[in-house]
Chain A
């Protein structure tokens, strides 16, 4: 029983971290219509940034600055935001599929840099020597994982509340307006380029937070953690949950992560031995099928976007005209 609970805590922690990343993507795609195909670059920037800034000194790669953990995490988020700003300045004039291709290219380049810039990132062996915060106090077992889960859930709740407020704020309405019609937004004196960049950077900072927490949880990050499949997993989570709906985005994260881990377990247990060699590949195919299936049969996701009427009307005395 304790083993199951322990696994549940582990599962929930990873799912909640991914849910934060899906919320970041939801701001970019669901609210603003930015097709970010390079989520994993922001995620990786957050993870690498946090571990490089907060880790202990290591031979062979940059880092070991041993910064106070909140500062290291904030630094990781700032790395993600800085990278997004540069990428956004270069690519956000592109539309939809072109933007997706360009940002996907950035993510592939990011993974290659992490793999080959050994002196900075530890290369294929990744960043080591990171001591998780409060580990001295809580140890590294179940109790630590439980506290960490609570912390991740608190971050998830904070990000959710922030984004919900943003959605109904004037800025949130502007995002939706630009998503719907850029020319109309320009005709009102709005600058879609600036607003899109702000949304892209904000979403990437949130994804960077997820990356920082992910790196913290494992106390390790390597190029294997920033493979393109993570981008597709996070997209599948948003598509299944419902783009434009923050609750849907979180539900999608738990559902897809559950399906992913369950399919891995089921394949390793029930599939023929020869097929088990291809478990990972079969899971990739499954993710693709889920995305295509949802787009065909329920493109709005399980929890469609709620079109919020955020303000009471002004009584103008015209109510009786009809």
Chain B
């Protein structure tokens, strides 16, 4: 029996009542694994992750974290149940310094100084630039800061919404590599990604959504070789025809 940190069971959700974006979506994120959600634009990937975090109203279904229901829990209480969220964009406070961003994230931490040193050791670039404004960081550095802020709450599960969006290929790989490294340290990652190949190379398990519904799921390595996925999402068929 897999050790599920997060289970999403037949969830229907949307921004407007009676207009669901997600339709009976089911998903499991296993402890210490990198689970990736992929799918075409408008599939509901980001909506799913926001629904888990309490940012999108859910009209039906059940969500549990470590076996406890978290449906209806407000976003500001998610960190108290060990869940952190890294939004796709605007995930740092640009006019604050890097240190101030981290201080905000560490406000309620019992051993804030110790944790700060740990985060600086993990992301040396943030230590070097701690007095700079977050707005002055490059895209990749900004994602590192956002991840560091998420880690400040010592979460068991991190929800990441397209962390490689807008990054150079090199920076995107660094960010995804870091997400993978975190799973090696016991953190569970649920990641939404458009960068399908790169995400699948690092993920343990993958869910494919389209039009707000589950399409395929399975071990990421298998899906990477799955011709169905290639046809639909990676454009192999189109390239072959060309």
Contact = CB atoms under 8 A, between A and B. Distances in A.
Task: Judge: A and B partners, yes or no.
Answer: yes
A186 interface: yes
A269 interface: no
A181 B153 contact: no
Contact of B90 (A181, A313, A316): A181
Nearest to B54: A186
A73 B234 CA distance: 70
A61 interface: no
B104 interface: yes
B103 A184 contact: no
B97 interface: yes
Contact-residue bracket for chain A = 20 to 34
Contact of B55 (A183, A192, A319, A321): A183
A173 B103 contact: yes
Nearest to B113: A314
Contacts of B103: 170, 173, 311
Contacts of A180: 90, 93-96
A1 interface: no
Interface stretch (B15-23, B27-35, B77-85, B173-181): B77-85
Interface string B92-125: 1111110110011101100001001100110011
Main secondary structure of the interface of A (DSSP, over half): loop
A311 to B, nearest CB: 6
A189 B95 contact: no
A181 B64 CA distance: 27
B131 A309 contact: yes
Nearest to B74: A191
B131 A170 contact: no
Contacts of A322: 128
A190 B75 CA distance: 8
A314 B53 CA distance: 32
A181 B117 contact: no
A177 interface: yes
A189 B121 contact: no
Nearest to A195: B76
- Nearest 9 A/B pairs, CB to CB: A189-B79, A191-B76, A186-B75, A318-B127, A187-B85, A316-B127, A316-B120, A177-B93, A181-B90
